[in-house]
Structure formats: C-alpha cells, structure tokens
Structure 1
C-alpha cells in the first residue's frame, strides 16, 4: 500500500510516539477492506509501538480505530485516509501515541475543560483540501477530552449514508446525530462554539489592548504581508482576522507563485501564519470587523469595532478583508446551498460521482471546474452568460476534448429548482432566442468570480461601483491613515503574488504616514 519512501517517513514520525497504539479494523470481504488492511499492516510494520487486530465491530466497513492502549483515548476513520487525509492519519497516530500537538496551551486547556458528551461525525472526501483542517481539529479534540468522540467518514466510499443524510458538501459535521456545521473549521472555532462564554472572554481580553501603530484587518496573503512589513519596522502591529489564510485556504493547486512551481492553498496559508508569528505581531483570529470609525482629528486614533462587541484602536489601519465567491442571486440558490448548490468542485465533486451537474461560469475557474468534474460525474453542462467562453485557449481545447461535457453560451441562469431536499434542475434563458429552458441535474457548481468583503465599509470610505475599496498608488484610501490591499481593492488582477506585493506597499505607506505625523499629534496620542 505504502511505497518505500512513505514507509521510511512514517517510521521516522512514529519514533516520536511515547504510548503504545492499537489499530482496530472493521472489515468485510470487499476490495476497499483489503486495501485498508494493507495500509494498516504497513503502519504496524514500521513501529514496535503499533499493534493491529481485525476483529472490530463497527457497522461501517471498512473502518478502523486508533486507540491508546489501556485507555479510552482514540480516533476513528471510516474509509482509507490517503490523499489529502494522509496527514490527518499521521497526526492522529502521533497524538494518540502521546506526541504533543502544536495547538496553543490556551486552546488545549479550553478543550480539556469542555463539558458534556460530544460525538462528532465528519463527512469528507480525499480530494478535499478544506477537509483536513476540520478532521484534524476534531481528532485532536477527541484526544484531549475523553467526553469528545470523532469519526471521519469518506463520503465517496459510503455513498448510501451520504444520500440518506443528504450530505452534498464537504466537510459536513454532525454532532450527536444532528447537523453541526459545514466547511473548513479550526479547533479554535469549534471550541468557541462549544464553550459558552468564550466569545465574551475574548472580547474582554481585546478591550484591554493598547492602541496599535498598524492594525491589519484580514489575514490572507495581503494581510500577512502587511503585518510582516510593519513588524519589521519595529512598530506595534496587530492582525484581526476572521480566519487566517483567507480565500487561499479554499484554493487547490497554485502553480504561478513565482519561485514555487507548485503548492496548495492550505499549505501556503500555514506558511504565511508561521511567518507572521516569527515577528512580534499580535494575531487575533476569529474576529470579524463590523465598523470602521475614522479618527476625529489628524493623527488621531482610528477605531475598528468587532462582531464580538470589542473594539481595537490604531494610528493606522490596513484593510485586507479579501473577497468571496460571487453568488448567482437567483431564486433557489440559497435554499439549496449545500443541498446541490456548491462553490468548490475539488471538495464536493466526489459526492456527485455518477450524477449530472452544471458549472456556472466560462472563465478559467469555471472551465477548470468542468474539466475536473468530467472525470468524476456522469455529465457536465457548462453555462456561460456571454456569447463565448473567457477561459484561456489551452483550457478550452481540453474542455472541447471531453465527451461528457456540453457548453451552452448566451445562457442566463434564472432559477435553481429542487424537491425541498436537493437540487433537481436548473432553469436558464437563451439570451439569443429568448427561450426558457431547463437542465435536469443534481448539482450546480458556481464559478462566476469574486465579490469584495466591503459591506461593513459602505458609507465610510470611497468604494468603486463594484464595491472595491479605491486606493491610490501608495495603497491609501479616501480616509487619512487608512490603507487597503489585496482582492478587496480596485487594484486589477486578483492574484496571490499581487496581493502580497500590495500588502507590503500598503504597510510601507502606513509607516511613511506614521513617521510624518506632526509631533503635536504624537504627544497628544501618548497623553
């Protein structure tokens, strides 16, 4: 199952294990069970601290538990955790085996003191780059707290259960049999949901913080770059981010980041966060900005109010709140969101194996999604509003070579239809003829561009007609001392490398603004 190189790497990792581990497999006669058994035997063979037995009685087969021998500490996987989940498997082995995690002591103690019985089930897919964060967070929580149990379930392998429980997006998490949440989640986010009063404690902690020289709002590539450039100047720097990494966390393959031929979004986001933490930066995660209050006098403090009730103050602010996938804004889209309407082909594609789906959008993202999905689903219909596709020609040639893909241009999507439980069809208007038509299908993948996260700024500073923050050549906005960078701004070409450069520029602009503040204003602030 594992090649020689992987076995060597795994052996090195398992040398860190301090407690004996028992693998307990629940198997049947199927090929998948034999594949899992081969994987578990490989794991057993590389460490004397790992034992294997195959008399498990889990109803899901194939599945297995990783137990700390002689205790009730353990995690479970239903399926064969390879692909993006291989890292989750390795971390589970290490953590069940007693190797400490890299989570902060504050979060570890919070999880250990959670009360009540919590049984989590996470439906994931091995091609989902968002799923490992959720799986790893819940696995660690189950290791830290005996009242928390978790099983990660490969939705592609357990299609009957996926259909029965109406799982149409991954990761989907159930708690004690009831829907808990969908999408990427960190251990901090999950613990905050379970810990009553956590939000209030966090708000009280933030209220007591002194004013920053530079406050960065947003933790994507632009925000990380801005924070690093500010901290390197030796000034007091803070970052308030709803989720560190931003949209990069939802990006699969990255092949145009200069000097790095290939990487993946979550890996890059993790590297960004690690780099920021190498400097004296106060990172406040899980904090959503709700209001920007400009300074009342030149050189005064700018205030950012947060959703949790606290406020932060700073001499300068760099806004880098990024963008999100644009909605179609048609009837049925929100009603069937995660019930057939989805925005991530890499994550959710395996759940639609053998089904008919549509991709909305003929740019690079839409055509790439159609190409990827064509290898998984029965049929793909790509609908483009314009009279022609806008994707690169190399992608269009690949698309045209696929037998199970239809392309419809001049198509204005008008409604998503369903049976109250799931999507059944998509309605559109042929813009050339005016005819109203329908496509029978089970899934709709929306890929029609980005929408800047600026709703909270309307009426405060100058925005473009598209809602982007207008900036000058130095990244400064219409409000003195407030700068902006990345996908949230009017700067064209929404690319990671551009966002990083713009973040650095905005931060340097903020520093230049600071050093030119009148001495009187500085003394007033100090007072």
Structure 2
C-alpha cells in the first residue's frame, strides 16, 4: 500500500475509509454543523423534541429519516428542489399520510440561518416564482446523497458500479486478503454500532486468512 508518507506491505488489508455526505454548499451549512445542521436523524433527532425541523432532499433516505423525526419533532418540513419525491411509493404514502410531515416543492436552499449559536431557519428560493422565503426551524437534516471514500481503490477490483465495496458476511471482498468494514461497504444501515461489529468480524477474518496462508507453507514430512 502506498500513502503520502510511505509504502507498506501486508498479507491482508481492511478498508475502513468510510463515506461522506454530500453537502449543499450553502452559507451556514458548515458554520452550524453540529449546532442544528445534521446528516443523521437517528444520531441527533432526540435533541429536537417538540421542535420544528427541516429535511432537505426527496429520496428514500430523506423521507425515511423525516418520518423518523416525526416521532420527536413537532413538525417536519421537507424541502425538495423538484415537484415530486424520488422516494419509493410505499415510503411516499407513509409520508403524505403523516400529519406532522409538510412539503415545500420546487425550492432551492440558499442559506441556513442562525444566531451565531444555533440554527434558526432555512432561506430558500421558489424556482417557479423566484420569490425568497425563510422557514423558521431549530434543525436542518440534509439528505442529498452520500459518497463512498473509495477513490484510492478504483484499480483494486473491489468496487461496485456505484463505488461501494460489496462483501460477504465475513467482510471479505472478491479479492483474497482484502476486507472492508463500516460505511464504505455496500449496505443499508450505516451506524457506528454496525461498523464496530463489522470490525470484530473482519479481525477474525483477517486472522483466519493469514493462518490459511501460513498453513499452506507448512512442509509435510513423511
């Protein structure tokens, strides 16, 4: 393995480079990250009990996480840049049937506003009329996509068509000696707890793999 600092040799490797949430790239997003701006409803939703929240996005993750937030929040407003959701129909039906879920269509988020301490609102522009509005909220949950951090492994032969790394239940990729754990894997749930368990599984897998290499090198004496 070659890094910026040196080169390393190993009999096995565990890839745990993770994934990165796509950013909106608007003013206030970075400034209020962790102070009202979040990318994980399960992680941060409990901090917003009985508050009004905004969810940015229209895919499965955005709507599912929005539905989850309705269990704690007073109101959840989905701000979407199109005039219809991209989420699966069954998820959409659940969202439209939830009295706490509200929708703003054809909207382009321009700024996440705050009082220097916490989020106070979302400024957006109506793409049809050009009018600007501010939605007062205590938190903004952003779901506009997620990118696996796998650029360094493009030539290794372990990525799927979307850049994720598929593995079996032992965290083994299709390349012998290469394992993957955490958010970089092709999977549905990306949480710290699942990554920790995968780390233990991969550790055992690496041990077994190296042991198998050692076993093949043992000379059998007559």
TM-score (norm 1): 0.31
Cα deviations by residue, 1:224-251 (Å, 9 ceiling, x for unpaired): xxxxxxxxxxxxxxxxxxxxxxxxxxxx
Greater relative contact order: 1 or 2 (C-alpha under 8 angstroms, separation 6 or more)? 2
8 Å contact 1:303–1:314 — kept in the other structure?
Answer: no
* TM-superposed deviation, 1:365: 0.8
Contact residue 320 and residue 484 of structure 1 kept, 8 A: no
CA 1:347–1:317 in 2, change beyond 3 Å: closer, same or farther? closer
Q: How many residues align?
A: 176
Deviations 1:467-497 (A, max 9, x none): xx64xxxxxx1xxxxx153xxx452395xxx
Give the Å deviation of 1:318. 7.8
Instruction: Tell me if 1:504 matches 2:188.
Output: no
How is 1:256-335 mapped onto 2 (pairs within 5 angstroms)?
302-305=1-4, 311-314=7-10, 321-335=17-31
State the 1:319 CA deviation: 5.8
Distance in structure 2 (CA, Å) of the matches to 1:316 and 1:304: 16
**CA shift at 1:320, angstroms?**
6.1
2:103 equivalent to 1:407: yes
2:76 aligned residue (380, 388, 407): 380
Q: 1:314 to 1:367 in 2, by over 3 A?
A: same
Alpha-carbon distance, 1:443 to partner: 0.1
Deviation for aligned residue 1:423: 0.4
The structural deviation recorded for 1:454 is 5.0
Q: TM-score scaled by structure 2?
A: 0.69
Which one has a larger percent helix, Structure 1 or Structure 2? 1
Between the aligned partners of 1:427 and 1:438, the Cα distance in structure 2 is 4
In structure 2, what is the Cα distance between the partners aligned to 1:484 and 1:334? Answer: 34
Q: CA deviation at 1:448?
A: 1.5
**Unaligned segments of structure 2, at least 5 residues:** 179-222
Instruction: Find the aligned partners of 2:150 and 2:173 in 1 and give their Cα distance.
Output: 21
Counterpart position of 1:162:
none
Instruction: List per-residue Cα deviations over 1:180-218 (Å, max 9, x = no partner).
Output: xxxxxxxxxxxxxxxxxxxxxxxxxxxxxxxxxxxxxxx
Which structure is larger by alpha-carbon Rg, 1 or 2?
1
Long gaps (5+) in structure 1: 1-301, 458-468, 471-476, 478-482, 510-527
1:87-102 counterparts in 2 under 5 A? Answer: none
Instruction: Indicate the RMSD between aligned Cα atoms, in angstroms.
Output: 2.8
- Counterpart-to-counterpart distance in 1, 2:106 and 2:75: 20
